[in-house]
């Protein structure tokens, strides 16, 4: 078999190099640092032809990335967690400037309390920023989605920045087989960026000017929304070209054993692999289980999702994130996609789990299907599940007791 | 009964304060009040609107007043300004109080159904306050037309102007100014009716049918937006005394001065905002100020 062993971080850096990016403004943060270290090494060695600059913060990094993109440079950068939040103000500016740069986010739970392992509160905080969002399950997907992200972002129908998400540790530091495409094939897939009215020293242009009036603001915001929606078509077309060149097939959503599935688990990112395993275990027990992976989170693939969920008995939405006082962030989006759909699953179960990278046993994953079945049969109310095992709670309580100095 | 008043002025003229004075005055009379301004980026001279609603019942409205019973226009140059559009939506049977020296019949010839009251507030303010600040004057005119009691109104003028930090002397002068305006007008009985309007919503697909990511690529277009009507005073160069030292040219913050082929400085009156920095900086006092719109 072809390919090499690469971490998710190395896959992201490799894709940036294959995309022939011109400029990489950077700021390190665990678990993203390896991406920029790798790129810095390549630039220093001369094996990557890009300008690498370390900025003094993620806010400056994102400002540099967006403005450089407006000059017509192809820009890549990466961050994680607190870094993404620190850059947040600029995310909205960069998308408003319609600067098609690509940002990789390596998911990590947000402080406080401080944690280093992943959940998706960081990346979903950027949900409304106007960035196209693609989330990866494998290191192979990281590389492929970075390349696809440039095609979508730079598509004249879209012209929005894109974010590719990968989970810290479970992808960022995980090595697995990655088949990197050949440079000359990538060059066919991703020609040089041709910017519309770029900022040049020789020609004045103002981007993102103050408009003051709400109706002008609405005009631009509605247009951003329309552009984001068009990203779905742009993605599908780019994915078709990608499949033809490289043989790997990507849609905005991906079904797993869905054909005759009656119970469907909806989830995203690296723990989807655990979801697939749970589907297989349930199938072995004779339960028609299936999985629906969200690869594209913005634009939200409502129609694709509804088409694949209609007619099922029950679905559960696994949110590896928590909006305190509401619950999982993606659950209401999935529910809204189904609301007017005839034959929508009667049961829609919210599940929160894996916060701060909390490990999930295979029994924990199959318990989601068991809960769906029990709710569907009317044996239980469709109350949200918050996954936590008894031995985990015991260990957490022990740690808390130690911290508080109890004997 | 609810009365809706919309004030139109320019940044610095006192539209916001006028809306607060009127609101206070009505409140003092026992009405419920709601007042607020819209002033964008707070640029001096830029069009400003402010609103006062008062009612003997609950006020169940909020925000921009589309159909005012009364409009108070503090600057007649705003009448031609499509962004300000001060008479827009004025109700049938409503009233426009306009600070102007122009005859009332010329201001709103198409609206026989509305009452137009003109008064030279700028002239009175310059005489009584020494400055073209119009908050107490326009508030007085509107309060009188609306039938607000004198005691409540004068207390409101003093309270609001103290609140914005005016000296007792200026407060006193403003109260006198307000009383003079109040005394010139009489209450109106307004029976108003909203103008018919037809809502036409644009579907999203139409809104987003263009490129939707337009940038500013046209250079030098700020001159297209004429700001000369913001002036209260116009600077005038006395070319017999001017030595072409160019100090005014260098100091003009609006680039409203240019140098002609004869080497002499010209003022672009379509864009000069009348800040008078040129007059202040001219070492030879070769620039004088002349009042706009009949002012001296």
- Answer whether A316's CB lies under 8 Å from A349's CB: yes
Q: Spell out the residues 6+ positions from residue A228 whose beta carbon is closer than 8 angstroms to its own.
A: A130, A132, A158, A160, A298, A299
Closest Cα partner for A317 from A328, A302, A304?
A: A328
Kindly report, residue by residue over A131-171, the tens digit of the pLDDT.
Answer: 999 999 999 999 999 999 999 999 999 999 999 999 999 99
- Answer whether A26's CB lies under 8 Å from A53's CB: yes
Nearest C-alpha of chain B: how many angstroms from A329? Answer: 26
* Chain B residues near residue A204 by CB distance under 8 angstroms: 217, 219
B90 and B29 belong to one structural domain: yes
Q: Characterize B168-200 residue by residue with b for buried, 16 or more Cβ atoms within 10 angstroms of its Cβ, and e for exposed.
A: eebbebbbebbbebbeebeebebebeebeeeee
CATH number at B280 reads: 3.30.70.20
Q: Which residue has better confidence, B42 or A82?
A: A82
Average pLDDT of the segment spanning B9-26: 95
- Residue A71, pLDDT > 60, answer yes
B246 and B111 belong to one structural domain: no
* pLDDT band at B217; cut points 50, 70, 90: confident
Measured in whole angstroms, how far is the alpha carbon of residue B70 from the centre of its chain?
A: 15
Interface mutation vs chain A, best among B81, B203, B213, most A CBs within 10 Å: B213
CA angle A360, A361, A362 (to 5 degrees): 120
Whether B221 has its CB under 8 Å from any CB of chain A: the answer is no
Kindly report, residue by residue over A348-368, the tens digit of the pLDDT.
Answer: 999 999 999 999 999 999 999
Nearest C-alpha of chain A: how many angstroms from B225? Answer: 14
- Answer whether B290's CB lies under 8 Å from B248's CB: no
B180 and B251 belong to one structural domain: no
Residue B203 lies in a domain: no
Nearest C-alpha of chain B: how many angstroms from A18? Answer: 28
B102 and B240 belong to one structural domain: no
Average pLDDT of the segment spanning B273-286: 94
- Residue B194, pLDDT > 60, answer yes
Determine how many CB atoms are found less than 10 A away from the CB of residue B25. Answer: 30
Cα–Cα distance measured from residue A317 to residue A322, given in angstroms and rounded to the nearest whole number: 12
* Residue of chain B whose Cα is closest to the Cα of A199: B217
- Residue B294, pLDDT > 60, answer no
Residue B261 lies in a domain: yes
- Answer whether B178's CB lies under 8 Å from B216's CB: no
Cα–Cα distance measured from residue A172 to residue A8, given in angstroms and rounded to the nearest whole number: 4
The percent of residues in chain A predicted with pLDDT above 90, rounded, is 95
Q: B153, B184, B215 — which closes off a domain?
A: B184
Average pLDDT of the segment spanning A330-359: 97
* Chain B residues near residue A220 by CB distance under 8 angstroms: 212-213
8 Å CB contact of A219 and B217: no
- Residue B146, pLDDT > 50, answer yes
B30 and B175 belong to one structural domain: yes
CA angle A100, A102, A104 (to 5 degrees): 160
Nearest to B207 among A205, A207, A222 (CB): A222
Closest Cα partner for B148 from B181, B125, B126?
A: B181
- Answer whether A158's CB lies under 8 Å from A188's CB: no
Residue B207 lies in a domain: no
Nearest to B204 among A203, A222, A224 (CB): A222
Kindly report, residue by residue over A208-265, the tens digit of the pLDDT.
Answer: 888 888 999 999 999 999 999 999 999 999 999 999 999 999 999 999 999 999 999 9
B234 and B162 belong to one structural domain: no
Closest Cα partner for A66 from A89, A82, A85, A49?
A: A89
Kindly report, residue by residue over B113-145, the tens digit of the pLDDT.
Answer: 999 999 999 999 999 999 889 999 999 999 999
* Whole-number pLDDT of residue A130: 98
Q: B184, B212, B243 — which closes off a domain?
A: B184
Residue B219 lies in a domain: no
* Chain B residues near residue A226 by CB distance under 8 angstroms: 204, 208, 212
* Whole-number pLDDT of residue B292: 67
ipTM for the assembly: 0.83
B72 and B123 belong to one structural domain: yes
Cα–Cα distance measured from residue A79 to residue A64, given in angstroms and rounded to the nearest whole number: 14
8 Å CB contact of A207 and B215: yes
8 Å CB contact of B213 and A98: yes
B229 and B157 belong to one structural domain: no
Whether B207 has its CB under 8 Å from any CB of chain A: the answer is yes
Instruction: Tell me the residue range of the domain where B167 lies.
Output: 2-184
B170 and B245 belong to one structural domain: no
Residue B155 lies in a domain: yes
Residue B233 lies in a domain: yes
* Chain B residues near residue A212 by CB distance under 8 angstroms: 40-41
Cα–Cα distance measured from residue B130 to residue B128, given in angstroms and rounded to the nearest whole number: 6
* Chain B residues near residue A209 by CB distance under 8 angstroms: 215-216
B273 and B128 belong to one structural domain: no
- Answer whether B241's CB lies under 8 Å from B286's CB: yes
Q: Report all structural domains of chain A as residue ranges with CATH numbers, in order of start.
A: 4-194+204-246 (3.40.50.970), 253-393 (3.40.50.920)
* Whole-number pLDDT of residue B230: 76
Average pLDDT score, chain A: 97
* pLDDT band at A407; cut points 50, 70, 90: low
A31 upstream amide cis, omega within 30 of 0 = yes
- Residue B296, pLDDT > 60, answer no
Kindly report, residue by residue over B228-244, the tens digit of the pLDDT.
Answer: 877 878 999 999 999 99
- Answer whether A357's CB lies under 8 Å from A170's CB: yes
> How many domains are contained in chain B?
2
CATH number at B136 reads: 3.40.920.10
Residue B83 lies in a domain: yes
Give A273-325 as a DSSP string.
Answer: HHHHHHHHHHHHTT--EEEEEE-EEES--HHHHHHHHTT-SEEEEEESS-BTT
B160 and B92 belong to one structural domain: yes
Kindly report, residue by residue over A18-66, the tens digit of the pLDDT.
Answer: 999 999 999 999 999 999 999 999 999 999 999 999 999 999 999 999 9
8 Å CB contact of A204 and B217: yes
* Chain A residues near residue B216 by CB distance under 8 angstroms: 205-207, 209
Closest Cα partner for A188 from A313, A44, A18?
A: A18
Measured in whole angstroms, how far is the alpha carbon of residue A366 from the centre of its chain?
A: 24
Q: Is A12 exposed, middle or buried (0-12, 13-18, 19+ CB in 10 A)?
A: buried
Residue B209 lies in a domain: no
Average pLDDT score, chain B: 92
Interface mutation vs chain B, best among A223, A227, A230, most B CBs within 10 Å: A223
Q: B184, B210, B242 — which closes off a domain?
A: B184
- Answer whether A320's CB lies under 8 Å from A360's CB: no
- Residue B43, pLDDT > 80, answer no
B102 and B171 belong to one structural domain: yes
Q: Where are the alpha helices (DSSP H) in chain B?
A: 15-28, 121-128, 135-146, 150-163, 168-184, 204-207, 247-251, 277-281
Q: Is the pTM of this model over 0.80?
A: yes
8 Å CB contact of B215 and A219: no
8 Å CB contact of A224 and B212: yes
* Whole-number pLDDT of residue B105: 86
């Amino acid at each position: 078999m072809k390919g090499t062993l690469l971490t998710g971080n190395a896959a992201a850096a490799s894709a940036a190099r294959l995309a022939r990016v011109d400029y990489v403004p950077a700021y390190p943060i665990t678990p993203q640092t390896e991406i920029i270290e790798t790129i810095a090494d390549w630039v220093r060695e001369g094996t990557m032809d890009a300008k690498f600059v370390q900025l003094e913060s993620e806010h400056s990094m994102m400002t540099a990335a967006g403005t450089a993109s407006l000059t017509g440079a192809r820009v890549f950068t990466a961050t994680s967690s607190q870094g993404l939040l620190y850059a947040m103000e600029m995310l909205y500016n960069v998308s408003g400037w319609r600067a098609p740069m690509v940002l990789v986010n390596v998911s990590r739970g947000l402080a406080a309390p401080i944690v280093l392992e992943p959940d998706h509160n960081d990346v979903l905080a950027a949900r409304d920023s106007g960035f196209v969002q693609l989330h990866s399950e494998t290191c192979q997907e990281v590389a492929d989605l970075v390349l696809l992200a440039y095609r979508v972002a730079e598509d004249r129908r879209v012209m929005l920045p894109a974010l590719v998400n990968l989970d810290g540790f479970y992808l960022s530091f995980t090595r697995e087989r990655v088949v990197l495409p050949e440079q000359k094939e990538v060059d066919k897939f991703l020609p040089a960026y041709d910017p519309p009215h770029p900022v040049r020293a020789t020609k004045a242009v103002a981007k993102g000017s103050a408009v003051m009036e709400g109706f002008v603001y609405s005009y631009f915001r509605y247009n951003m929304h329309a552009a984001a929606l068009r990203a779905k078509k742009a993605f599908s077309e780019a994915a078709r070209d990608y499949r033809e060149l490289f043989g790997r097939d990507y849609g905005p959503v991906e079904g797993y054993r869905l054909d005759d599935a009656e119970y469907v688990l909806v989830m995203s990112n690296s723990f989807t692999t655990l979801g697939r395993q749970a589907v297989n275990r349930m199938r072995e027990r004779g339960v028609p289980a299936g999985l629906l992976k969200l690869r594209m989170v913005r634009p939200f693939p409502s129609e694709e999702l509804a088409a694949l969920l209609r007619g099922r008995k029950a679905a559960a939405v696994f949110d590896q994130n928590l909006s305190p006082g509401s619950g999982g962030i993606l659950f209401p989006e999935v529910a809204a996609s189904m609301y007017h759909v005839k034959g929508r699953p009667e049961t829609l179960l919210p599940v929160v789990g894996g916060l701060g990278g909390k490990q999930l046993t295979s029994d924990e994953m199959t318990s989601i299907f068991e809960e769906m079945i029990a709710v569907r049969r009317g044996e239980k109310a469709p109350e949200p599940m918050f996954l936590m095992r008894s031995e985990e709670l015991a260990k957490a309580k022990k740690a808390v007791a130690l911290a508080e100095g109890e004997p | 009964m609810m009365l809706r008043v919309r004030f139109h002025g320019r940044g610095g003229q006192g539209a916001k304060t006028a809306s607060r004075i009127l609101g206070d005055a009505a409140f003092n009379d026992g009405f419920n009040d709601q007042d607020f301004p819209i002033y964008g980026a707070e640029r001096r001279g830029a069009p400003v609107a402010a609103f006062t609603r008062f009612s003997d019942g609950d006020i169940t409205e909020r925000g921009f007043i589309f159909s005012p019973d009364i409009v108070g226009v503090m600057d007649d140059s705003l009448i031609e300004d499509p962004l300000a559009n001060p008479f827009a939506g004025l109700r049938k049977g409503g009233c426009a109080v306009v600070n102007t020296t122009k005859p009332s019949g010329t201001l709103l010839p198409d609206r026989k159904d509305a009452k137009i009251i003109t008064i030279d507030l700028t002239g009175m303010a310059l005489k009584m306050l020494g400055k073209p600040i119009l908050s107490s004057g326009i508030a007085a005119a509107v309060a009188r037309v609306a039938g607000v009691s004198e005691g409540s109104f004068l207390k409101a003028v003093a309270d609001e102007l103290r609140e914005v930090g005016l000296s007792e002397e200026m407060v006193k002068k403003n109260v006198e100014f307000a009383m003079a305006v109040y005394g010139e007008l009489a209450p109106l009985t307004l029976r108003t009716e909203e103008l018919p309007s037809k809502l036409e919503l644009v579907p999203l697909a139409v809104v987003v049918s263009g490129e939707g990511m337009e940038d500013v690529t046209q250079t030098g277009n700020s001159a297209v937006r004429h700001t000369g009507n913001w002036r209260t005073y116009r600077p005038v160069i006395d070319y017999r005394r001017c030595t072409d030292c160019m100090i005014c040219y260098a100091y003009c913050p609006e680039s409203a001065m240019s140098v002609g082929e004869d080497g002499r400085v010209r003022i672009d009156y379509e864009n000069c905002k009348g800040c008078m920095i040129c007059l202040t900086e001219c070492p030879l006092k070769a620039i004088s100020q002349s009042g706009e719109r009949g002012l001296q």
